[in-house]
């Protein structure tokens, strides 16, 4: 695996979350090719980091790994790992709901997405699976898959709304920096 951070990083289970403005969030991530213990440790650390940050999904690029994987836990008792995911079917029906992102803390906006998706992916051992998702699970999958293509949820807003979100994020961050 190509890592942006040295492997010893995984001795800590908490990973740093990259935020808006970091280049890696705008890059297209590369396929995962090696299903080894490093990948398994990364996935475990991603779940811990996501849960600690109170998120429902976290993608590789958000923790500095520009590879095609994400984890999801929408608090329905299932922990999902998607590696090299592809959406193979989407419903015509759409749904609109508020979204946030661990990489854009404090910013929330309504986003319209497909109501249902069917996804093909591999698990942490490389075994292929297919899942049909709806509701928050379908939304989280689409949000995380966007991350693998360098797209953030604010990129799906109209220009004016996106500008407002970026300004609000920058304002919030500036405040935080001067307080620190
Ligand atoms: Zn996100």
Q: What is the CATH number of the domain that holds 94?
A: 3.90.45.10
Q: How far is it, in rounded angstroms, from Cα 75 to Cα 161? A: 29
Ligand 1 centroid vs 143 CA: distance in angstroms?
Answer: 6
Q: Which residue has the tokens 């001067």?
A: 178
Domain count, the chain: 1
Domain containing residue 172: 7-179
Ligand 1 centroid vs 92 CA: distance in angstroms?
Answer: 23
Is 2 inside any structural domain?
no
Is 1 inside any structural domain?
no
Q: What would the mean pLDDT of 12-28 be, rounded to a whole number?
A: 92
Residue 69 has a pLDDT of 98
Residue 13 has a pLDDT of 74
Ligand 1 centroid vs 66 CA: distance in angstroms?
Answer: 14
Pairing of strands 116-122, 80-90: antiparallel
Return the closest-CA partner of residue 154 out of 23, 26, 60, 24.
26
Say which of 86, 99, 132, 144 is annotated catalytic: 144
Which segments within 109-175 are labelled E, that is strand?
109-114, 116-122, 128-134
Is 15 inside any structural domain?
yes
Q: Which residue has the tokens 């220009």?
A: 159
- Please state the φ and ψ torsions of residue 128, each to the nearest 5 degrees: -75, 145
Residue 1 has a pLDDT of 57
Is 91 inside any structural domain?
yes
Residue pair 20/152 in contact (Cβ under 8 Å)? The answer is yes
Ligand 1 centroid vs 153 CA: distance in angstroms?
Answer: 7
pLDDT tens per residue across span 47-106: 999 999 999 999 999 999 999 999 999 999 899 999 999 999 999 999 999 999 999 999
Question: Does residue 144 have an active-site annotation?
Answer: yes
Ligand 1 centroid vs 101 CA: distance in angstroms?
Answer: 4
Q: How far is it, in rounded angstroms, from Cα 56 to Cα 140? A: 7
Residue 174 has a pLDDT of 79
pLDDT tens per residue across span 118-168: 999 999 999 999 999 999 999 999 999 999 999 999 999 999 999 999 999
Q: How far is it, in rounded angstroms, from Cα 28 to Cα 10? A: 23
Is 127 inside any structural domain?
yes
Ligand 1 centroid vs 116 CA: distance in angstroms?
Answer: 19
Is 110 inside any structural domain?
yes
Res. 10: pLDDT tops 80: no
Is 27 inside any structural domain?
yes
């Amino acid at each position: 695996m190509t890592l942006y951070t040295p492997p010893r990083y995984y001795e800590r289970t908490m990973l740093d979350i990259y935020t808006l403005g970091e280049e890696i969030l705008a890059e297209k991530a590369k396929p995962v090719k090696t299903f080894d213990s490093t990948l398994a440790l990364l996935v475990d650390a991603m779940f811990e980091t996501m849960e600690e940050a109170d998120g429902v999904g976290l993608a590789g690029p958000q923790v500095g790994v520009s590879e095609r994987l994400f984890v999801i836990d929408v608090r329905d008792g299932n922990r999902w790992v998607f590696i090299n995911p592809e959406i193979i079917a989407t419903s015509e029906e759409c749904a609109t709901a508020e979204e946030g992102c661990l990489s854009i803390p404090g910013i929330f906006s309504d986003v319209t997405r497909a109501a249902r998706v069917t996804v093909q992916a591999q698990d942490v051992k490389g075994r292929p699976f297919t899942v049909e998702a709806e509701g928050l699970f379908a939304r989280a999958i689409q949000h995380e898959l966007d991350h693998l293509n360098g797209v953030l949820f604010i990129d799906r807003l109209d220009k004016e709304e996106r500008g407002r979100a970026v300004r609000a994020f920058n304002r919030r961050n500036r405040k935080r920096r001067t307080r620190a």
